[in-house]
Structure 1
Amino acid sequence: MQAHELLKQLRIPELSEVRDYFRSLSTNTLLGMGAFTAVTAYWFATRPKALKPPCDLRMQSVELPGGEFARRGAVLNGGPLLSHFYEDAKTIYEFFHRGLRESKNGPCLGSRKPKQPYEWLSYSEWTISELACYTYSLISVPLYDTLGTEAIGYILEKACISTVVCDVPEKAKLLLDCVSGRQHTVKTLILIENFAADLVSRAQQCGIDIISLKDAEVNKPQIPPQPDDLAIICFTSGTTGNPKGAMLTHRNIVSNSSAFIYVTKVNTDVHISYLPLAHMFERVVQGVILMHGARIGYFQGDIRILMDDLTTLKPTVFPVVPRLLNRMFDKIYGQANSPLKRHILEFAFRRKENEMKSGIMRRDSVWDKIIFKKVQASVGGHVRMMLTGAAPISAPVLTFLRAALGCQTYLDIHCSGCVFTVCVCSLPEMNYYAAKGEGEVCVRGPNVFKGYLKDPEKTKEALDEDGWVHTGDIGKWLPNGTLKIVDRKKHIFKLAQGEYIAPEKIENIYIRSEAVAQTFVHGDSLQACLVAIIVPDPDFLPGWAKKRGIEGSYEELCKNKEVKKAILEDIVKLGKESGLKSFEQVKDIALHTEMFSIQNGLLTPTLKAKRADLRNHFRKLIDELYSNIKM
């Protein structure tokens, strides 16, 4: 009986009962209900749509059959690796011609003078020089003056370069310094800006003709390249010795670009170009932009006024390096200079972070209008896509800036799993085993380079007989199908700005100081500089310090700030004399009194530094050093 009464109460009311109910309500109540209904309907109709992930985020790679413990990105849904995306764009030469068709020969490359708007052209000197190479199946070799005369001379000789394009006479003079008094293959030097007669005379003494870019223009039948022709020889910075020339074909670069296109959409975009064109990251981004007939705006050449270029150009695509993101993050938080402002900023960030976790990315929320509007305006207000690569980026920094700028961010876009297969190889000597899903990360696919120019020994070290590139990174497969880098096979790492560091080379220079017995140079991939732990020599330190007017026991001297300053100055001086680059020099040190030894677990039985243990042992001290450095 009770159940029957309950079912009677739960019945759907008759239409007449609903009508009588609404008639019993007051006019104000009905208006309120109508307004609430309208607002709710508007919210449902206009609320932002969540982005659809390219694959199941719970399993982002799939294991391939066979015994190699290899995996491939799940984004392909079982399809083949991408060697190209468009049938009419299989070489970089075809990239540009496809862009011409897509844009109907519209504005392509732009530049500006100080306090002036952008002027759009159909070419820019550097880019047209590169495209000219591809038009006639020539190979381009990027050079930049910061390599130093020795490295530039080595590259010129190794690659047998006959023609060099420079923007300003100063760089032409540097080039002449590199070849003066030695045999070389350089025949022609093309200068973009005006040059004096004495520079021409000096070049002629070296057997080189200098001509202007305009005089270099020709109208000859084109010789388009094939996909497997060499496109670029990109030399390393020579961290561990002479620079190595990585040979990249058109297929390699087009394949890498295909990964970008596969996970993003490029159409009527505007790209701000300020990163070095000598690095492949910027060149791949520009290739994708040109292929779609989009526009590239060049910065004025001064990174200090980049924000002015951004607000003038209003780009939609913004490639960034972690160092720039870190500066933006620090500046935003630095402006929140009171507890109340900091609380409001963090509250707004958490609200937007919750939206991002739901797949919603936008710039029109109430928090954007109140808090983040100025941040977005500082980069032009139209950025919809950030691309970051070349070095690791802190997760908290990246998440905050994604929320603040309200744009999608892609990290190392070529790592999307569309263009290569990844496996991990066992390293028993380091206790890593592929059967456990950990080992050296190896990569194979159409984007993999063809080896090092005229260096079979280094090529064999990097590429095995089956075409796998041995990266030197130690990786571990996680349950969601992603790969986590946990170690390095060799002790080489990147700083936040993307520069490679060989710490043992630096340590071998620093221990030449009379005051230094041992040193451990550390670089954090989320930081832009190096720090070091120094163990002063107990036999030499007292006498060395006394010459500088400082006396005391060994322990007292190690705590003395003047001693620390003097040791830092001494090792930096040794570094300069030995040719260390500025980013290879430590910015701060800490003095430690206990020697690294086998007994305390900081040296191997062969007396080599156990870098992972040293890093963990001095973690607190390292963090303190970084916290006191202002870049």
Structure 2
Amino acid sequence: MASQTFKVPSSEVPGYSAIYRNSLFKDGTQGSELSHITTAYELFQHHLAIAPKTEFMGTRRFDPADGFLDEYEWLTTSEIAELVEDFGSGLEHVFAKYAADAKGHGTQQPLGMYANNRYEWFVAEFGAFRSRRYTVGICDAVEIQAAEYTINHSELRVIACSIDKIPRMLDRMAGTPSVRVIISMDPLNCSRPNHLTQAFCAETAGPSLRKRAAALGITLLDMDEVLEMGRATPTVAQPPAPSDICVMCYTSGTTGVMKGVLLTHDGMINASRSSHFSFRYTDTTYLSVTLLAHSMDRYVVYMLMYGGVRIGFGTGDRTRIVEDIQVLRPTVMVGFPRLLVAVYERMAAATIRADGMTGVLSRIAYQCKRQRLAATGELHHPLWDRVLFSKLAAQLGGRIKAVMTGAADLKPEVIDFFRAALSCDVVQGYGQTETSAAGTIQRLGDYTSGHIGVPNAGSDIRLRSMPDAGYLVTDLPCPRGELMIRSRSLFAGYFNDPEKTQATMDGEWLATGDVVQINATGTLSFISRTKNLVKNNLGYCISAERLDRIYAQHPMIQSLLVDGHQDYNKIVAVIVPEPTEFTPWARSVANMPDASFEELCAKPEVAKELAEVLRIYSASVGLSVYEQLGAIYIEPVPFTERRHLFTSLLKFKRTAAIVHYDVQLKKLYKEVGGLI
């Protein structure tokens, strides 16, 4: 296969690899196509121009009598544009009257956004852009303290939020003294009932909340009131410049304290346009479920707006995501690995893992489709799609053309299954908040797995050697090192933190903190976070994340936490078994045919035998003696049931997990003490 990246000639310098670019954009730019769009506000105007009467944003109809959610109701781009104009004008009056002294970045003021994904978020956001304001997403999906931290750190005066957030804000107002105005996205008289307002009494919600807010010195309005202010006294739009801040997104906190990342309009547009050039989707239907408080979903929405898009918003209930998908029938699906794995587990259990004739036929069909795809590059199969896979695809609406994912590696078997079951492209990408969510992306038509694609259009990447960890740009056959990115999509800095900003940059290059390798095809494969590399007491460097991924390929492993320590030469792990594979095997080992899953997990002889099975497995996949597990603890409770071990983006927090399992890990290290 020809290389998918272009190696810039004579670009190597000591300690750094050559510079690599997307082979379709060898000059390092995105060309002149669509270059007239320079801000998110202009992108909205572009979408208005190409699809003024088209359904743009939709919400599921709610019946307050029985709490039933029905089909999607839609607003056209023109209707959204009218709301943006009126809200933008009204917002000017709100700031002028209640928060004229609001502080932000330079001369720009921030608007806080505190809600699940919904069309009112975009109305408020584009309304804020209309007067050069930027938005700050607030997230409490993991813990309420994160919301307080965001509000205080960004010094928010005005916050637009859903009605369910208002009581908790008022309860904790003493901890957020900067807030002066709260704008409810839902009518305070509950005149437009939805699944959030059903918890409030229409006769008392508004008066009660307003009274509480007034007692705290807070002005409480709803969006309808702000819209009416704008209609009554329209203002002249003051659109942003490309260099203005578009949004401030807070990092997910996987490695420490959250940081406020300042993303410019130029950066967000550069990122979204680069991905548009990779996919060029038109007339897309998209389900927005990835939290808008972070950069990923906004990046995808902006990417799709270039070609026209219908955006349906989920209910905000993760248990109803599949239902939302079935009702909306999206053509593009974006999800983080843990969400996609949950869908995969459900579908695989009913097909390729099923007992009896269903399982036999499903496995035959699956292998046939995989072989056909590998041999011909053809996603569809004339027999098995009709007999089996069209029914699976129907469970997700039956129209998906592509599944996109990032943030963490998705197991190859999950990728292959989705390609077979849905007859669609499945692509992985890489990005950070600091890169406006862009970085690398897998090409359509590339049906390989185990990598994160190639540089986005207009982005340069290179590697920096890490000699202490043993990753060098001179490694053969694949250069390895810390990933560096240079692009117009890079952040403008961390809010009020020039020291951390400077520490993150190497000249004009972002030091991502991630170790990758450049494959022969020009694609990149993720190895580890630099902060998760551990050197053992013999000087050998261990990549715990890499080992997590390798051991997780074993059929008896659902998930695990590999850990190494500088005082030991053996590594240990906390393992969550895959019940369907583990239980019958463990019953045989323990000679307990009726034992429960939990009982088996607690048996020392089962742990000892599983460690031996994994030792043999590790040798079969080429791991060194230092990468073999010295001892394991079997955890019957899935990591996913411990919410504090995950960020709001469902990223696994290794540091938090190590703290959580401190007692078990110490016992394991005591067990393996001594030299090999």
CA gap of 1:85–1:148, structure 2 versus 1, over 3 A, is farther
Given that 2:564 and 2:571 are in contact with CA atoms closer than 8 Å, whether structure 1 keeps it comes out as no
1:477 aligns with 2:518: yes
| Aligned residue identity for 1:65 | S
Alignment match of 1:438 (pick from 480, 484, 489): 480
Q: Which residue of 2 aligns with 1:98?
A: 46
Instruction: Supply the distance in 2 between the matched residues of 1:442 and 1:431 (Cα, whole angstroms).
Output: 17
Q: CA deviation at 1:401?
A: 0.8
1:461 aligns with 2:500: no
CA gap of 1:505–1:462, structure 2 versus 1, over 3 A, is farther
The SS at the match of 1:292 is coil
1:173 aligns with 2:183: no
Given that 1:237 and 1:243 are in contact with CA atoms closer than 8 Å, whether structure 2 keeps it comes out as yes
Alignment match of 2:223 (pick from 203, 213, 223): 213
Given that 1:83 and 1:255 are in contact with CA atoms closer than 8 Å, whether structure 2 keeps it comes out as no
Paired residues, number: 496
The SS at the match of 1:233 is strand
| Aligned residue identity for 1:369 | R
CA gap of 1:178–1:566, structure 2 versus 1, over 3 A, is farther
Instruction: Supply the distance in 2 between the matched residues of 1:84 and 1:243 (Cα, whole angstroms).
Output: 36
Provide, for residues 7-55 of structure 1, a one-character-per-residue CA deviation record: whole Å limited to 9, x for no partner: xxxxxxxxxxxxxxxxxxxxxxxxxxxxxxxxxxxxxxxxxxxxxxxxx
| Aligned residue identity for 1:186 | V
Equivalent positions of 1:262-341 (< 5 A) are 262-336=277-351, 337-341=354-358
Given that 2:29 and 2:458 are in contact with CA atoms closer than 8 Å, whether structure 1 keeps it comes out as yes
CA gap of 1:352–1:183, structure 2 versus 1, over 3 A, is closer
Which range moves more in the overlay, 278-287 or 236-245? 236-245
1:488 aligns with 2:529: yes
Instruction: Supply the distance in 2 between the matched residues of 1:147 and 1:387 (Cα, whole angstroms).
Output: 24
Given that 1:163 and 1:186 are in contact with CA atoms closer than 8 Å, whether structure 2 keeps it comes out as yes
Q: CA deviation at 1:211?
A: 0.2
Q: Which residue of 2 aligns with 1:600?
A: 675
Instruction: Supply the distance in 2 between the matched residues of 1:111 and 1:475 (Cα, whole angstroms).
Output: 40
Instruction: Supply the distance in 1 between the matched residues of 2:217 and 2:389 (Cα, whole angstroms).
Output: 58
Given that 1:61 and 1:482 are in contact with CA atoms closer than 8 Å, whether structure 2 keeps it comes out as no
1:112 aligns with 2:60: yes
Q: CA deviation at 1:390?
A: 2.1
Instruction: Supply the distance in 1 between the matched residues of 2:403 and 2:289 (Cα, whole angstroms).
Output: 14
Q: Which residue of 1 aligns with 2:426?
A: 409
Q: CA deviation at 1:408?
A: 1.5
| Aligned residue identity for 1:134 | F
TM-score, scaled relative to structure 2 = 0.65
Instruction: Supply the distance in 2 between the matched residues of 1:344 and 1:237 (Cα, whole angstroms).
Output: 43
The SS at the match of 1:222 is coil
Given that 1:147 and 1:237 are in contact with CA atoms closer than 8 Å, whether structure 2 keeps it comes out as no
Equivalent positions of 1:50-61 (< 5 A) are 57-61=2-6
Q: CA deviation at 1:297?
A: 1.1
Alignment match of 2:159 (pick from 140, 145, 164): 164
CA gap of 1:205–1:389, structure 2 versus 1, over 3 A, is same
| Aligned residue identity for 2:481 | G
Q: CA deviation at 1:381?
A: 0.9
| Aligned residue identity for 1:167 | S
User: Which structure has more strand as a fraction of its residues?
Assistant: 2
Q: Which residue of 1 aligns with 2:37?
A: 89
| Aligned residue identity for 1:73 | R
Instruction: Supply the distance in 2 between the matched residues of 1:454 and 1:521 (Cα, whole angstroms).
Output: 39
Instruction: Supply the distance in 2 between the matched residues of 1:183 and 1:339 (Cα, whole angstroms).
Output: 59
Provide, for residues 234-265 of structure 1, a one-character-per-residue CA deviation record: whole Å limited to 9, x for no partner: 01233444310111111111111122111112
Instruction: Supply the distance in 2 between the matched residues of 1:384 and 1:183 (Cα, whole angstroms).
Output: 44
Given that 1:83 and 1:251 are in contact with CA atoms closer than 8 Å, whether structure 2 keeps it comes out as no
CA gap of 1:346–1:256, structure 2 versus 1, over 3 A, is same
Q: Which runs of 5+ in 1 are unaligned?
A: 1-55, 497-502, 508-517, 528-554, 602-631
Q: Which runs of 5+ in 2 are unaligned?
A: 62-67, 81-118, 189-204, 431-437, 442-454, 534-544, 550-560, 579-603, 609-631
Given that 1:333 and 1:342 are in contact with CA atoms closer than 8 Å, whether structure 2 keeps it comes out as no
Provide, for residues 184-234 of structure 1, a one-character-per-residue CA deviation record: whole Å limited to 9, x for no partner: 322210002224323223323333211001112223111111111111110
The SS at the match of 1:86 is coil
Which range moves more in the overlay, 209-218 or 139-148? 139-148
Instruction: Supply the distance in 1 between the matched residues of 2:123 and 2:472 (Cα, whole angstroms).
Output: 49
Given that 1:251 and 1:446 are in contact with CA atoms closer than 8 Å, whether structure 2 keeps it comes out as yes
CA gap of 1:143–1:120, structure 2 versus 1, over 3 A, is same
Instruction: Supply the distance in 2 between the matched residues of 1:504 and 1:184 (Cα, whole angstroms).
Output: 42
Given that 2:6 and 2:26 are in contact with CA atoms closer than 8 Å, whether structure 1 keeps it comes out as no
Instruction: Supply the distance in 2 between the matched residues of 1:332 and 1:142 (Cα, whole angstroms).
Output: 34
| Aligned residue identity for 2:459 | F
Instruction: Supply the distance in 1 between the matched residues of 2:324 and 2:26 (Cα, whole angstroms).
Output: 43
The SS at the match of 1:429 is coil
Instruction: Supply the distance in 2 between the matched residues of 1:575 and 1:360 (Cα, whole angstroms).
Output: 40
CA gap of 1:244–1:220, structure 2 versus 1, over 3 A, is same
Q: CA deviation at 1:482?
A: 2.2
Which range moves more in the overlay, 437-446 or 487-496? 487-496
CA gap of 1:390–1:85, structure 2 versus 1, over 3 A, is farther
Which range moves more in the overlay, 146-155 or 583-592? 583-592
CA gap of 1:202–1:241, structure 2 versus 1, over 3 A, is farther
Instruction: Supply the distance in 2 between the matched residues of 1:334 and 1:566 (Cα, whole angstroms).
Output: 23
CA gap of 1:98–1:350, structure 2 versus 1, over 3 A, is same
| Aligned residue identity for 1:399 | D
Q: Which residue of 2 aligns with 1:395?
A: 412
Provide, for residues 399-420 of structure 1, a one-character-per-residue CA deviation record: whole Å limited to 9, x for no partner: 1211110111221273131132
Instruction: Supply the distance in 2 between the matched residues of 1:161 and 1:186 (Cα, whole angstroms).
Output: 6
Instruction: Supply the distance in 1 between the matched residues of 2:500 and 2:9 (Cα, whole angstroms).
Output: 29
Indicate the RMSD between aligned Cα atoms, in angstroms: 4.1
Q: CA deviation at 1:339?
A: 4.8
Q: CA deviation at 1:454?
A: 0.7
Provide, for residues 147-201 of structure 1, a one-character-per-residue CA deviation record: whole Å limited to 9, x for no partner: 5343322222221212111112x31222234431x57322210002224323223
Q: CA deviation at 1:519?
A: 11
Instruction: Supply the distance in 2 between the matched residues of 1:397 and 1:247 (Cα, whole angstroms).
Output: 34
Given that 2:633 and 2:668 are in contact with CA atoms closer than 8 Å, whether structure 1 keeps it comes out as no
> Among the aligned pairs, what percent are the same residue?
24
Instruction: Supply the distance in 1 between the matched residues of 2:135 and 2:381 (Cα, whole angstroms).
Output: 44
Given that 2:28 and 2:459 are in contact with CA atoms closer than 8 Å, whether structure 1 keeps it comes out as no
1:225 aligns with 2:225: no
Q: CA deviation at 1:127?
A: 1.4
The SS at the match of 1:108 is strand
| Aligned residue identity for 1:395 | P
Q: Which residue of 2 aligns with 1:345?
A: 362
Instruction: Supply the distance in 1 between the matched residues of 2:319 and 2:32 (Cα, whole angstroms).
Output: 37
Q: Which residue of 1 aligns with 2:269?
A: 254
Q: Which residue of 2 aligns with 1:188?
A: 181
Q: Which residue of 1 aligns with 2:402?
A: 385
CA gap of 1:521–1:282, structure 2 versus 1, over 3 A, is farther
Alignment match of 1:235 (pick from 250, 254, 263): 250
Q: CA deviation at 1:355?
A: 3.2
Instruction: Supply the distance in 1 between the matched residues of 2:401 and 2:256 (Cα, whole angstroms).
Output: 41
Which range moves more in the overlay, 447-456 or 238-247? 238-247
Q: CA deviation at 1:598?
A: 7.4
